[in-house]
Amino acid sequence: MSSDDLAIHVEGLGKRYELYENPRARLKQFMLPRLQRTLGRPVRNYFEEFWALDDVSFEVRRGETVGIIGRNGSGKSTLLQLICGTLSPTRGRVETRGRIAALLELGAGFNPEFSGRDNVYMNASLMGLTREQIDERFDDIAAFADIGQFIEQPVKNYSSGMFVRLAFAVIAHVDADILIIDEALSVGDALFTQKCMRFIRKFREERSLLFVSHDSASVVNLCDRAIWLSRGKLMSNGSAKSVCEAYLNSLLSELDSSEAQAATTGDIARIRRVGQPELAWRDQRADFVNGSNLRNDIEVFRFDENKAHDYGGEEARVSNVRLLDSNGAPLTWVVGGEKVTLRIDVAAAAELEQLIVGFAFKDRLGQSLFGDNTYLTTLHAPVTVRAGQTLAAEFEFFMPWLAQGDYSIQCAVAQGSQENHRQLHWVHDALVVKSHHPPVSTGLMGIPMSDIRIHAY
């Protein structure tokens, strides 16, 4: 691999801090070693050495996405700050090629007394943009952040979510070659997180990304490689899947079962599945689960056409999206494992033939968990609508048991066939749903089973 392919080169990197028991020890360290050297006596240190990073080496190629995982205190944030240049290494070296944009600690690089507008100009200029370039991009930055008139207010009045919105909006518009993202995105709301993940997925197609997360599933699905840090040392550097598996195995061997479960929420499920067989279409565990504190309660937020992030819509438009119960009533809450109907209403503004309506159910990282469309159903009887007509597409399914967190339902209407079609309207976050309790399942989601048996023979 030539040096031109490298975006980041880290070699023998170490960062040492001096830890003092009390202010008196700090004063002694300031004065006494000099005196001891002057008198020719052995020099004594009055501090304890702490190496936040110790002899870390790795490389990141251009166009590569690398995840960094490890427990709290493993040195992840220190490493990112050294790469960004906000910290100086005690030993070793870091080389970067290209402009770096970073989203580190919440509010880092913001002056709390300045307005959001002033902080945009200050942050973007620190990342290498000229005043004229910032002027040209300011409206796009403000639209991406979507915080309204708060952009003219001092950022000390911002919520944590507004901090993240503005900070990410800046780094998304500075034409960076290397993007570095710490855990800050975890405080954003579901809609904004989806917007950020769409930007990240597009960014990583051509440029380099460093992504820090405690969620190993996110690292496996988003990253090409992963780096595992533990107590400042590089433990493993390889494929995202193999490194994350080694990290989780290490956690399980170090922690007792209760700590391991808390530390790896979403990665390892330890709940036993029991229940009684009932109707053929019901998972026999449903009554047990839904009658206990294990119930997978899922909140459904109402479709808002004004807030939905979409494109198209001139000829046909998704006008409403709802989850319905068995009686056709709209749901604001649903329990994992129950039968629901997703109804998508489409309003036509022109006469259209061969319409296809579809959806995708996505997690907070924008990964499609499941979905479907009407193409096969209408293959022998294509749908035609006149201008001014409304049509409804309904998808009936059992709501999966969802891991705790935010999800969204993306909807679209197109014209043509499965292989060759034209998108008419695409709504990224038509419905947002929030799972409030962990499911009785493993993996990203659980599918209700018709039966589970165990036999000894």
Is it the case that residue 388 has pLDDT exceeding 60?
yes
pLDDT, tens digit (0-9, with 9 covering 90-100), for 200-232? 888 888 889 998 887 777 788 788 899 999 999
Is it the case that residue 392 has pLDDT exceeding 70?
yes
Closest CA to 339 of 405, 279, 413: 279
* Widest CA span in the chain: 99
Window from 78-82, 231-235, 313-317, 333-337 with minimum mean pLDDT? 333-337
pLDDT, tens digit (0-9, with 9 covering 90-100), for 11-62? 999 999 988 888 888 888 888 888 888 888 888 888 888 899 999 999 999 8
Indicate the Cα dihedral angle 25, 29, 32, 33, nearest 10°: 140
pLDDT at 405: 84
Q: Where are the domains of the chain?
A: 3-263, 297-435
Architecture of domain 3-263: 3-Layer(aba) Sandwich (3.40)
* 297-435: CATH number: 2.70.50.60
Task: Tell me the pLDDT of the chain averaged across its residues.
Answer: 82
Residues in the chain: 457
Contacts of residue 41, defined as CB under 8 A and 6 or more positions apart, other chains included, come to none
